[in-house]
Amino acid sequence: MASTGFNSGLDIGKSYYVATAAPAVVHPALQGEVEADLVVVGGGCTGLSAALHAAERGLKVVLLEGGRIGWGASGRNGGQMIPGLRKGAKGLVRSFGPERAKALFDLAFEARGLVLDIIERHAIDCDLRLTGHLVGAVSASDLRDLEEEAECLAKVMNFPHVEMLSAGQARGIVNSPYQGAMLEKLGGHMHPLNYTLGLARAAVAAGVTIHENSVATRLDREPSIRVSTAKGSVRARHAVLAGDALLKGLEPRVNSRIMPVGNYIIATEPLADAAEVIPGNVAVSDTRFVVNYFRLSADGRMLFGGGERYTPSPPADIAGFVRPHMENTFPQLRGRRIEHAWGGLVSVTTSRLPHVGHYGEVYFAHGYSGKGVILSTLSGKLLAEAITGDAARLDLFSTLSPLPFPGGTALRGPLYVLGMLWYAMRDRLKH
Ligand SMILES: Cc1cc2nc3c(=O)[nH]c(=O)nc-3n(C[C@H](O)[C@H](O)[C@H](O)COP(=O)(O)OP(=O)(O)OC[C@H]3O[C@@H](n4cnc5c(N)ncnc54)[C@H](O)[C@@H]3O)c2cc1C
């Protein structure tokens, strides 16, 4: 896949995923004026899923992607499939009470079944591994938090698929010295770019027209919805904004509730001892505020994400930036060759809950706060349901609306950086 201008930053072209991507169709850029029932901005999993499900419900759909399909977060993430929302079960109960918390959790959990169904129905080859997701506790107090979380999942959410592990048991699954761990048995991992490309293939088969290299530069609502690019425009009854961290400008009310945070991943050379490093082949994240998350690729590489930057500029040497995080977690990997290093923008919200809803006929969903691999596909489906007349499930999510960042889009950066740096420092003091 050749590099293009829009969203080709943070070295996506050097990612392990691009190097191992399934052959992808090139979709021509939009030229001239077209009409549709629905125009979708963004060719990640949110936009593609909205497009697929709307087309399956009979709508004529045109999707505009500024760069290439999957070159946003959807095609460059850690590939960790983690059921639920970024805000954990305990946090949901604290914020919404047990009944509503359970309804939200149950709806979010549907994402897993939906993604598995899409993978099967559309025969998407994406290195799917349903081996579980393990959360490693880096301190005794974090382990107590995980125990409370597991108890809340079992008792309030009626969700028995988690197990607490002692330090010794955890080490049998991932060979790093945690204080103990929570194993989410229904988690797993996959090749996210190949999943996203498969979703695009499914959308096209359902009748969706995709235009790549078509940056939406303007959204008009009167006399009817019209989304314009440099060389054309789409007039439609409804619009979906699914640009996540990259959307910028089109709808300020949507932008002010998310904050893009740079996050970086490396892939080592294939490891002869991969099965000794993560014997359970699970997806792993730890309890650090600036989370480390990692897993093995299908060809036995360590794919390790760690370190965040709250400034717009990426580190000059991404591999050098992430390597210490990997080597602290796995001293046995010291000095291993790093063959790929890249980054992406995670969109976070003040509440760590997604921002989903609509202003009139302009719908949006974003801000999964680092837990969007499967949630994005569900959100897209909920948007399509609402657009075609059944808003009940979207409404459940849209009532979560997180507060805008203080200072709006201009000041959210500096103020947020101060807050995040404080948390990151607190994190360091724990160890
Ligand atoms: C480095 C990284 C690691 C992550 N790891 C995980 C993980 O392991 N597990 C997990 O659950 N989540 C993870 N996430 C989060 C997850 O990847 C995202 O939540 C999810 O992919 C968001 O999907 P999306 O479709 O909403 O956005 P995206 O995939 O970003 O898609 C948005 C698309 O819109 C396009 N676009 C934006 N503006 C315009 C415009 N004006 N015109 C046309 N097109 C436009 C962009 O080019 C982009 O392709 C990670 C994210 C990153 C960045």
Q: Which atom of ligand 1 is nearest to the CA of 372?
A: 19
pLDDT band with cut points at 50, 70 and 90 for residue 196: very high
- What's the fold here for domain 12-77+193-256+351-406? FAD/NAD(P)-binding domain (3.50.50)
pLDDT band with cut points at 50, 70 and 90 for residue 321: very high
Spatial distance between the Cα atoms of 340 and 329, rounded to a whole number of angstroms: 19
Which whole number is the average pLDDT over 212-218? 96
- 3-state secondary structure labels for all residues of the chain: CCCCCCCCCCCHHHCHHHHCCCCCCCCCCCCEEEEEEEEEECCCHHHHHHHHHHHHCCCCEEEECCCCCCCCHHHCCCCEECCCCCCCHHHHHHHHHHHHHHHHHHHHHHHHHHHHHHHHHCCCCCCCECCCEEEECCCHHHHHHHHHHHHHHHHCCCCCCEEEEEHHHHHCCCCCCCCEEEEECCCEECCHHHHHHHHHHHHHHCCCEEECCCCCCEEECCCCEEEECCCEEEEEEEEEECCHHHCCCCCHHHHCCCEEEEEEEEEECCCCCHHHHCCCCCEEEECCCCCCEEEECCCCCEEEEEEEECCCCCCCCHHHHHHHHHHHHCHHHCCCCEEEEEEEEEEECCCCCCEEEEECCEEEEECCCCCCCCHHHHHHHHHHHHHCCCCHHHHHHHCCCCCCCCCHHHHHHHHHHHHHHHHHHHHHHCC
Which whole number is the average pLDDT over 85-91? 93
Spatial distance between the Cα atoms of 351 and 389, rounded to a whole number of angstroms: 28
pLDDT band with cut points at 50, 70 and 90 for residue 313: confident
Ligand 1 center from residue 131 Cα (angstroms): 24
Q: What is the pLDDT of residue 352?
A: 85
Greater model confidence, 357 or 307 = 357
Sorted by where each begins, the domain ranges of the chain are 12-77+193-256+351-406
Mutation pick for ligand 1 pocket among 39, 246, 254, 263 (CB with most ligand atoms within 8 Å)? 246
Residues in the chain: 431
Ligand 1 center from residue 223 Cα (angstroms): 31
Ligand 1 center from residue 203 Cα (angstroms): 18
Q: What are phi and psi of 92, to 5 degrees?
A: -65, -45
Taking only the tens place, the pLDDT of each residue in 407-430 is 666 555 665 565 666 556 555 555
The chain-wide mean pLDDT, for the chain, equals 92
Tokens in use for 394?
Answer: 């979207």
Residue 213 has pLDDT above 90, yes or no: yes
Q: What is the pLDDT of residue 82?
A: 95
Residue 48 has pLDDT above 50, yes or no: yes
242 lines ligand 1 (CB under 6 A): yes
Which whole number is the average pLDDT over 308-312? 69
Mutation pick for ligand 1 pocket among 226, 240, 371, 373 (CB with most ligand atoms within 8 Å)? 373
